[in-house]
């Protein structure tokens, strides 16, 4: 009986310990044991967002959406309440902007709080931060479709005006040709009559043979010639008058047609400007100078990291329900979830391997106009030279330690982590390293005590496989 009670007590104690450990892990994952600061923001559209969605600042998960207040009317917005880690409160300013982002291309949506400008004051707790609505592709496609319909209608109108102009020109040319033919016929007839009279044919010709009336006939012929000349002048003036009337009518129609064409061309220009503006808005640079290509590249990098984490989780589930067997089989812990304090207290950090490679920031990075750092060509060569010092990098765990000696603790944390991320991305893409075999640690400005350095500015590469050899 005593043995049964003892066994029952042991089982009860173990169950309570497991429950407490699970409760602690869940609370730690949701930042339940850290100090938080509450902020608010408003959105017209919260599609894809839900209570518990992550909140990040400069790529770090600092909290979650605690609640979403439904608006009371159609003209109002949803009000979101956010819990943010108090340690990053200094990065959130009065002009900080909140946007909705997506993990990768089709992942879950989360909130991003962009750090404000340095001259702005720190945002007080409980304040409402500005927001930027997410871009809806369906509305953009509907607008583009409407523009294409307007363009097609304008082209049809121009084609119809050109067909009408062609028809008017054909009718005018036919009328002018007929008039010229009639005038030529009249002139030919008059010339034939005059020729016959001069040769003595007909009654008039015989009269010309009488010398007594010769002068009268000559006078009559002169009168006839004068009359013919007058008739020719009248015919010319009539032709000119008809041509002028027809020309004026044609010009009037042509003016109307050209006006319609000009109006259609202006509409086409306006439509083209609208299309250009829409495309620039969709694929141009955002408020921080990042274009669509850079944002897509960052999204693909996040997808690669998420895929590597998913592979680790799947492999762990194959070995043991609590993952213990998986980490024992692999030989090292997952540093992405390891706090900095525990890493500093670990054997890897305290016992500095001789093969540890120190790379200063001056030979790695350059600073853009907006203050962000990018990896330079010289920096890639420096990383290649450091990797060449390791005997083996494939299949071996590789740790990238980031250092930055800034005045602010939060700035040190962010800049050192970003430096480690830049080097990790280059190693994974250039050397095709598996994401599960690379890890990053943001260590601020303090290296190991036995490293011979009080502070360091740059990146350090540590191969666990080199250390175990």
Give the model's pLDDT for residue 327. 47
In this predicted structure, which of 93-97, 124-128, 304-308, 410-414 has the lowest mean pLDDT?
A: 304-308
Q: Residue 297: is its pLDDT beyond 90?
A: no
Beta carbons of 129 and 98 less than 8 angstroms apart: yes
State how far the Cα of 139 lies from the Cα of 136, in Å rounded to an integer: 6
Percent of the chain with pLDDT over 90: 20
| Helical packing angle, 137-198 and 202-209, nearest 10° | 40
Q: For residue 41, what pLDDT band results from cuts at 50, 70 and 90? A: very high
Q: Residue 270: is its pLDDT beyond 90?
A: no
Average pLDDT of the chain?
A: 76
Beta carbons of 359 and 378 less than 8 angstroms apart: no
Q: Residue 193: is its pLDDT beyond 60?
A: no
Give the model's pLDDT for residue 268. 73
Average pLDDT score over residue span 398-416 = 90
For residues 285, 290, 292, 293, the Cα torsion angle rounded to the nearest 10 degrees is 130
For residue 447, which of 378, 350, 370, 315 has the smallest C-alpha distance? 350
State how far the Cα of 174 lies from the Cα of 292, in Å rounded to an integer: 61
Count of beta carbons in the 10 Å neighbourhood of residue 463: 22
Instruction: Quote the radius of gyration of the chain (alpha carbons, Å).
Output: 45
For residue 358, which of 458, 222, 240 has the smallest C-alpha distance? 458
State how far the Cα of 221 lies from the Cα of 30, in Å rounded to an integer: 123
Helices (H), 62-198: 137-198
Average pLDDT score over residue span 39-62 = 88
Give the model's pLDDT for residue 321. 47
Across the beta sheet with 398-403, what order do the strands follow? 357-360, 458-463, 398-403, 438-442
Give the model's pLDDT for residue 284. 65
E-strand ranges in 368-428 read: 373-375, 398-403
Write out the two tokens for 343: 């890493």
Residue 459 burial (10 A CB sphere; 0-12, 13-18, 19+): buried
For residue 123, which of 91, 89, 94 has the smallest C-alpha distance? 94
Largest alpha-carbon pair distance within the chain?
177
Beta carbons of 79 and 69 less than 8 angstroms apart: yes
State how far the Cα of 132 lies from the Cα of 160, in Å rounded to an integer: 46
Per-residue model confidence as pLDDT tens digits over 139-156 = 666 776 777 788 777 777
In this predicted structure, which of 109-113, 142-146, 181-185 has the lowest mean pLDDT?
A: 181-185
State how far the Cα of 320 lies from the Cα of 388, in Å rounded to an integer: 36
What is the Cβ-side half-sphere exposure of residue 448, based on CA atoms within 13 angstroms? 19
Give the model's pLDDT for residue 323. 45
| Helical packing angle, 409-430 and 377-387, nearest 10° | 70
Give the model's pLDDT for residue 326. 45
Write out the two tokens for 282: 């969709």
Q: Residue 288: is its pLDDT beyond 60?
A: no
DSSP for 231-290, written as a single string: HHHHHHHHHHHHHHHHHHHHHHHHHHHHHHHHHHHHHHHHHHHHHHHHHHHHHS--TTS-
Count of beta carbons in the 10 Å neighbourhood of residue 95: 15
């Amino acid at each position: 009986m005593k043995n049964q009670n003892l066994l029952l007590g042991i089982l009860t104690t173990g169950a309570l310990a497991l429950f407490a450990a699970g409760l602690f892990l869940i609370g730690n994952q949701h930042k339940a044991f850290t100090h938080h600061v509450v902020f608010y923001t408003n959105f017209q559209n919260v599609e894809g967002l839900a209570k518990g969605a992550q909140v990040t600042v400069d790529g770090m998960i600092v909290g979650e959406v605690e609640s979403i207040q439904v608006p009371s009317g159609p003209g109002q917005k949803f009000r979101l309440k956010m819990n943010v880690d108090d340690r990053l409160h200094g990065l959130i300013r009065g002009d900080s902007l909140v946007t909705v982002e997506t993990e990768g291309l089709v992942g879950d949506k989360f909130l991003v709080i962009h750090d404000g400008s340095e001259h702005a004051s720190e945002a007080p707790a409980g304040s409402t931060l500005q927001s930027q609505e997410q871009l809806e592709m369906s509305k953009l496609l509907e607008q583009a479709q409407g523009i294409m319909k307007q363009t097609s209608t304008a082209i049809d109108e121009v084609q119809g005006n050109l067909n009408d102009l062609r028809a008017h020109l054909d009718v005018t040319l036919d009328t002018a040709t007929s008039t010229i033919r009639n005038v030529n016929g009249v002139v030919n007839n008059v010339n034939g009559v005059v020729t016959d009279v001069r040769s003595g044919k007909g009654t008039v010709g015989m009269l010309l043979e009488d010398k007594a009336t010769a002068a009268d006939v000559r006078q009559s012929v002169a009168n006839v010639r004068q009359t013919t000349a007058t008739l020719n002048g009248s015919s010319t003036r009539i032709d000119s008058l008809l041509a002028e009337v027809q020309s004026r009518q044609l010009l009037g129609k042509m003016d109307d047609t050209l006006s319609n064409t000009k109006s259609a061309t202006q509409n086409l220009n306006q439509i083209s400007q609208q299309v250009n503006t829409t495309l620039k808005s969709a694929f141009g640079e955002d408020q921080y100078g990042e274009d669509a290509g850079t944002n897509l590249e960052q999204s693909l990098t996040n997808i690669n990291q998420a895929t590597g984490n998913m592979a680790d989780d799947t492999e762990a589930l194959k070995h043991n329900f609590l993952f213990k067997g998986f980490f024992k089989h692999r030989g090292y812990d997952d540093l992405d979830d390891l706090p900095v304090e525990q890493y500093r207290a670990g054997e890897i950090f305290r016992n500095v391997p001789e093969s540890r490679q120190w790379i200063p920031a001056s030979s790695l990075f350059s600073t853009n106009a907006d203050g962000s750092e990018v990896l330079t060509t010289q920096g890639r060569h420096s990383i290649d030279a450091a990797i060449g010092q390791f005997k083996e990098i494939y299949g071996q765990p590789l740790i990238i330690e980031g250092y930055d000696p800034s005045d602010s603790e939060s700035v040190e944390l962010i800049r050192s982590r970003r430096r480690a991320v830049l080097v990790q991305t280059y190693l994974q893409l250039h050397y095709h390293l598996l994401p599960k075999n690379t890890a990053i640690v943001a260590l601020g400005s303090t290296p190991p005590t036995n490293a011979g350095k009080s502070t360091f500015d740059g990146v350090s590469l540590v191969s666990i496989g080199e250390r175990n050899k």
